[in-house]
Amino acid sequence: MDYTGIVIFFMEVILMALENWRFIETEPLDAYTNMAVDHAILESVAKGESPPTIRFYRWHPPGVTIGYFQKANKEIDIDACQKNGVDVVRRLTGGRTVLHQHELTYSVIAPENHPKVTGTILESYLAISRGLLFGLENLGVKGQLVNGAESKRKGTAACFDAPSWYELVVDNKKIIGSAQTRKQGALLQHGSILIELDNNLLFNILKFSSDKVRRAARERFKGKAISLAEVMERVPDYSQVVQAFNDGLSKGLDINLSDGKLNDSEKQLTEELEVGKYRTDQWNYKR
């Protein structure tokens, strides 16, 4: 007996029972536009004009994002960033400095009282991190959820210098770093999934008191962060990584992701936020 039709039927029933979220994959964008898009979706979801959304994106040129509370001129060598063609932008979320280059960046945006992500910040971190863990498993990578207080050891301004609550590590090295904020009743969590890692560029654009301190920090960092390429012993195809984490987040959050795109109001708000906020020195440097 051929059970193919029965299997397909039950799969369709299961998908119909799952809640639909919007999935957006955008082309590589500069740092200012990427942050404006996340912010625009956040505001649209907060107003009830857009559904819960997961976005995957990339960066061109490379970008450095600093946490909401960081002081750019204290942490970042702005001249070195300009020399190396690296954009600098402040995130809406907290946390430390992240170099965005060879990675898949994700964002999860939903009402903060949505049952899939409801609860405290730590509880919602856990829910999303489970999906990320499934994504790693889909690539054959054995990851672990860090479950403990944020490291108190002295480190650098770099986000991947130490794992915090419910972030993912492989061999005790951070492979995915995330940050979250809540605004007007909606939640935004975004993070970096390292495909490759350029330690030299990262430590060339961070500020240090001396080259000796810089070299020592770079050496320590090698034991604290790891990329998919290092773990898999090859550089995975970007589309493979996208599919793995699309499936992983769908499973972890128990949702169905439907391909979508920005609506007209989100596009307009993105343009306004990019020009009026994320490209301005007032936002990026004068805090």
Max distance between CA atoms of the chain, in angstroms, equals: 73
What is the C-alpha to C-alpha distance for residues 236 and 146, in angstroms, rounded to an integer?
24
Residue holding tokens 């604290």?
A: 224
Closest by alpha carbon to 205, among 91, 92, 63, 95? 63
Active site residues: 159
What residues have CB less than 8 Å from 178, skipping those under 6 apart? 125, 128, 129, 132, 167, 189, 190, 191, 192
What is the C-alpha to C-alpha distance for residues 1 and 213, in angstroms, rounded to an integer?
70
What is the C-alpha to C-alpha distance for residues 69 and 31, in angstroms, rounded to an integer?
18
What is the C-alpha to C-alpha distance for residues 87 and 66, in angstroms, rounded to an integer?
11
Closest by alpha carbon to 181, among 283, 75, 108, 232? 108
Q: Where are the alpha helices (DSSP H) in 47-110?
A: 72-75, 78-83
